[in-house]
Each structure stands twice: as structure tokens, then as C-alpha cells.
């Protein structure tokens, strides 16, 4: 197969494909026994920095579930280290940034990440690409400026983003300087992933849904627009967020060939409103905890909403949960592939 003819890449371009392509966010992760075995021997950050192991985990996951695309095993937060952040992954508690940014003087100490600081990611992309067949495209990724800024400011995950918004409202100058240095760092990082062989890029704006449309316009749009402008062209860009029902029009305007939808919206209606763009989504990850009949019915609802329109990439609305049975994931992938639009 000509690599460009893979159903996933066709769908990214809005072209018809024989079957609806499907992959899952976090498809290489703790729900999979092969991954847990690797993690028992290797701390998370070491795994990301070991390009052989990262490539192995990436390839194992895509082959195990039969997805139409692989996503490189890495993490959105790694770029923060060469910017000057002190990042650790505590046991079971998620990521911790030990020196959070709370004031303009903290922003000043951050540096634009030199792309070569993340050479282990590009090595992993090259190694993964050489062990995948031409029919399986490889997705590179990064966090979006807002989502990364939220970790930089909160020092980890957050419930209400109070510190983030405190800086955003209280010191817009510092806020824009922070968003700008993150966005500039991401440009070289994404371009290097593409140079290494990434055939699509997903931008994770996982937490931007905590903002109102007006705040998105003022505090986020210029920076995500700058990033998407700078990287668009060579490969398709998937622009993903959660809780973004009221932000989708602005996200589309900011850019991206594919807009990622979470499960809180109706895929068909959102696609109608978005107009000409490909879409990705949007099964609730919790549906994969249910029985097969429910999985079939709920996946069928989404496929019917897409209605066979070219440019749909089936995915969850967010990442696979760790307690998900891997057989249910496999069942979902197979059923999407076997789905035929009803007459
Ligand atoms: O083994 C472990 O316990 C570590 C868990 C883990 C994994 C498997 C982390 C820590 N990161 C990852 C890999 C990862 N992260 C991938 C590649 C795997 C794949 O998709 O197959 C990707 C694409 C990410 C991206 C990522 N990291 C996001 C965006 C996606 C999303 O879920 O919204 C975010 C927000 C992160 C931060 C992060 N890193 C790790 C955790 C547990 C988190 C989330 C913390 C939080 O909830 O705030």
C-alpha cells in the first residue's frame, strides 16, 4: 500500500476510505498487560527516554488492538524539562512539577526549548516507523499551549484551574509571555517529529474546556493559532480538546485538519455546525467498561451520526481508562472496521 492511501490519512484529508479508521487515545497504557509488564521494570520517564522501549510499546499496542494508526509513546509534559521545569512522575499520583510558575519573574526564567533536547522522541519515531508496515501511519503529538501552561502553573493536574486563571486574569502580560514561550517551543518540537517520520500530529488541548468562549478568544486563541499556522502543511493536524462544546467554532478557526470531539457533544450535530473539516471521536471511554451489546449500540450511534461522510476518524472522546478490558477495545476496533452504513 502507498503509505498516503492508509484509511487514517485519507480520513484526515477528508477523502472517502473503504472503512472508518479507528485508533484510541492512550492506546498504549495501563489497561494493557504488555505495558504493565514493561512498567514494572522501568520508571515512566526512563521508558519515554529509551527510544527502543518507547518504540516497542508503541508497536505492541497498535498490533494488539488492530488500530489504523499508532501514536508514539511519549508524554506531553516532557518538553517542559528543557524549558526549565522540574518534572517527576510520582507513583500513582500523576505528574508533579516541583517549581510551578506563579508570577512574571517565574515566567522570565523559562527558556524556549531547543528542539534537539528531545532527540529521544525523534529516535523513537524513526525506530517505530521502521518497524511498522506502510499501512499503519504514525502519529506524533504535543500538548497545546493552554494545557501545558495549566501544568506549569498548577504544578500538576487540577480540578478548577484556580492558579492558572489567577495568573491569566491577574497578570495578562505574564500569561501571554508564558503562552508565547510554550508555543514557540512547540513549533520546533513538532517540526522535528515530522522530520523524523511522524505522518500526522495531534495537539492535545485536554483541559481548555474550563474556559469561556470570551476567555478562549482573549487568552488562548492567538497562541494556538500561531502554533497551528507555523506547523500546518506537511502533515495533517488533529486539534483535540475536551469540554469544548462552546469552543469548537474558535478551535476550527484556529486551525487543524481534523477537530477532535469528546463524548459530551453529538458528533453529527457538531460536524454539521463545524462545516468543512474532518472530525475525530467520540465514544465515552466508560462505554468500554460495559457489556458488548452496549458497546455495539453506542458505537453504532456514533457511526450513524457520521453517516458515512468522508473524514470521520473513530476514537474515544478522551483516553482509554486503565480498568478497561483489552478484549473490549479489540471488540470495538473490529466492529468499527466491519461496520457498513445502513441502507
Ligand atoms: O505508566 C504510567 O503510570 C504513566 C501513565 C502515563 C502514560 C501511559 C502518563 C503520565 N503518560 C502516558 C503516555 C501518554 N501521555 C501518551 C502516549 C500513550 C498513548 O496514547 O498510547 C499520550 C498521548 C499522553 C498525553 C498526555 N499526557 C495528555 C494528553 C492526553 C489526555 O489524556 O488528555 C496529558 C494531559 C498528559 C499528562 C499526564 N501524563 C501522565 C498522566 C497520568 C497525565 C495526566 C495527569 C492529569 O490527569 O492531570
For the chain, the domain total comes to 1
Shortest-distance atom of ligand 1 to CA 157: 48
Whole-number CA gyration radius for the chain: 19
Evaluate: CB of 309 within 6 angstroms of ligand 1: no
Provide the pLDDT confidence category of residue 19 given band limits of 50, 70 and 90. Answer: very high
Q: What is the pLDDT of residues 123-137, one digit of tens each?
A: 999 999 999 999 999
Residue 24, sorted as left (phi over 0), alpha (psi -120 to 50) or beta, turns out to be beta
pLDDT at 234 over 70: yes
Q: What is the pLDDT of residues 290-321, one digit of tens each?
A: 999 999 999 999 999 999 999 999 999 999 99
CATH number at residue 94: 3.20.20.210
Evaluate: CB of 321 within 6 angstroms of ligand 1: no
Domain around 67: 3-342
Tell me which residue has cell 486539534: 239
Burial label for 190, CB within 10 Å (0-12, 13-18, 19+), is: buried
CA distance 92 to 212: 31
Distance in Å, CA 75 to ligand 1 centroid: 6
Provide the pLDDT confidence category of residue 340 given band limits of 50, 70 and 90. Answer: confident
Give the catalytic positions in this structure: 26, 30, 39, 75, 151
Evaluate: CB of 43 within 6 angstroms of ligand 1: no
Which of 294-316 are b and which e, b meaning 16 or more Cβ less than 10 Å from the residue's Cβ? ebeebbeebbebbeeeebbbbbb
**pTM, two decimal places:** 0.97
Per the DSSP assignment, residues forming a β-bridge with 97 are 87
pLDDT at 231 over 70: yes
Amino acid at each position: 500500500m502507498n503509505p498516503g492511501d492508509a484509511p487514517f490519512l485519507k480520513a484526515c484529508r477528508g477523502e472517502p476510505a473503504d472503512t472508518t479508521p479507528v485508533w484510541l487515545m492512550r492506546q498504549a497504557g495501563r489497561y494493557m498487560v504488555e505495558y504493565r509488564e514493561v512498567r514494572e521494570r522501568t520508571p515512566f520517564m526512563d521508558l519515554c527516554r529509551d527510544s527502543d522501549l518507547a518504540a516497542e510499546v508503541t508497536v505492541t499496542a497498535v498490533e494488539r488492538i488492530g488500530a489504523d494508526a499508532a501514536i508514539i509513546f511519549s508524554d506531553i509534559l516532557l518538553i517542559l524539562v528543557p524549558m526549565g521545569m522540574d518534572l517527576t512522575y510520582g507513583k500513582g499520583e500523576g505528574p508533579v512539577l516541583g517549581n510551578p510558575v506563579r508570577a512574571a519573574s517565574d515566567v522570565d526564567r523559562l527558556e524556549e526549548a531547543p528542539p534537539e533536547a528531545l532527540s529521544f522522541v525523534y529516535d523513537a519515531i524513526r525506530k517505530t516507523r521502521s518497524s511498522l508496515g506502510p499501512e499503519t501511519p504514525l502519529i506524533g503529538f504535543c500538548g497545546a499551549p493552554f494545557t501545558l501552561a495549566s501544568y506549569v502553573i498548577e504544578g500538576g493536574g487540577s480540578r478548577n484551574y484556580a492558579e492558572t486563571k489567577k495568573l491569566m486574569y491577574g497578570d495578562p502580560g505574564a500569561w501571554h509571555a508564558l503562552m508565547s514561550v510554550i508555543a514557540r517551543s512547540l513549533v520546533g518540537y513538532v517540526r522535528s517529529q515530522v522530520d523524523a517520520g511522524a505522518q500526522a500530529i495531534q495537539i492535545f488541548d485536554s483541559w481548555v474546556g474550563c474556559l469561556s468562549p470570551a476567555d478562549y478568544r482573549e487568552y488562548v486563541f492567538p497562541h494556538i493559532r500561531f502554533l497551528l499556522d507555523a506547523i500546518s502543511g506537511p502533515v495533517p493536524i488533529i486539534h483535540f480538546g475536551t469540554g469544548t462544546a462552546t469552543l469548537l467554532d474558535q478551535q476550527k478557526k484556529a486551525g487543524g485538519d481534523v477537530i477532535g470531539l469528546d463524548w459530551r457533544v453529538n458528533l453529527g450535530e457538531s460536524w454539521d455546525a463545524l462545516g468543512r473539516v474532518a472530525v475525530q471521536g467520540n465514544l465515552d471511554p466508560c462505554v468500554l467498561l460495559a457489556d458488548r451489546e452496549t458497546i455495539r449500540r453506542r458505537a453504532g450511534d456514533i457511526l450513524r451520526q457520521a453517516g458515512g461522510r468522508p473524514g470521520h476518524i473513530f476514537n474515544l472522546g478522551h483516553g482509554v481508562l486503565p480498568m478497561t478490558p483489552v478484549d473490549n477495545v479489540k471488540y470495538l476496533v473490529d466492529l468499527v472496521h466491519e461496520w457498513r452504513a445502513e441502507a
